[in-house]
A and B are shown apart, each in its own frame.
Chain A
Amino acid sequence: DAGVTQSPTHLIKTRGQQVTLRCSPKSGHDTVSWYQQALGQGPQFIFQYYEEEERQRGNFPDRFSGHQFPNYSSELNVNALLLGDSALYLCASSFWASGNLYEQYFGPGTRLTVT
């Protein structure tokens, strides 16, 4: 049983460009959350998707957008890249049961470098 998978592993982009990162949740999970982790810091919450809708959003600008597909996989899009967007982008999947969210397993992340 595969865990959370993310692609690509590494990515190098130029300032002003756009990027799309992908995530497939763990089998049985229906919720995907995205996080940004700068070097030496803890992950920062970007947003959460459930039933193909954005349910919760952190303090990130509108340049960051996402999507969830019917198979629960998700994409993170970042427009007009800035140097400060360089980070490890993490996807976490989880599932809802009885009004509670369970687990939250992370993928290996995508290392984005903006030059």
Chain B
Amino acid sequence: GESVGLHLPTLSVQEGDNSIINCAYSNSASDYFIWYKQESGKGPQFIIDIRSNMDKRQGQRVTVLLNKTVKHLSLQIAATQPGDSAVYFCAENIWGQAGTALIFGKGTTLSVSS
């Protein structure tokens, strides 16, 4: 079946560096994407979302880029902090007959060292 995947299972950066987490999706009909951060033992935390009619969206220290041509999504975190250490998932919203579902990849573990 179709799924959303991440390019790298782990990413290690130094505090203050910029981090880029990548994601490839396969469903060209997907119109909504969300990035989540999940810390150990907790539920996924909503970071930022983007709809398919946009290429870029910025939040506080985070930017999401969407390239529909190559079906690629990325999350950029500026000035990465130790508190950013977590597993990051991208999720793709797909439509069914009467509702929707988020399809998640396996996640990228971000480790930030100080």
Contacts and interface: CB of A to CB of B under 8 A. Distances in A.
A36 B91 CA distance: 14
Q: How many interface residues does chain A have, given as a range? A: 20 to 34
Nearest to B93: A101
Contacts of B49: 103
Identify whether the interface residues of B are mostly helix, strand, loop, or mixed. strand
A45 B46 contact: no
Given A100-B32, A101-B32, A101-B93, A56 B106 contact: no
A56 B105 contact: no
B52 to A, nearest CB: 11
A106 B101 contact: no
B36 A106 contact: yes
A89 to B, nearest CB: 10
Interface in B80-107: 89, 91, 93, 96-107
Contacts of B89: 42-43
A53 B104 CA distance: 24
B61 interface: no
A72 interface: no
Interface of A: 4, 6, 33, 35, 40-45, 48, 50, 55-58, 88, 90, 92, 100-101, 103-109
5 contacts: A42-B107, A44-B104, A48-B100, A92-B102, A109-B43
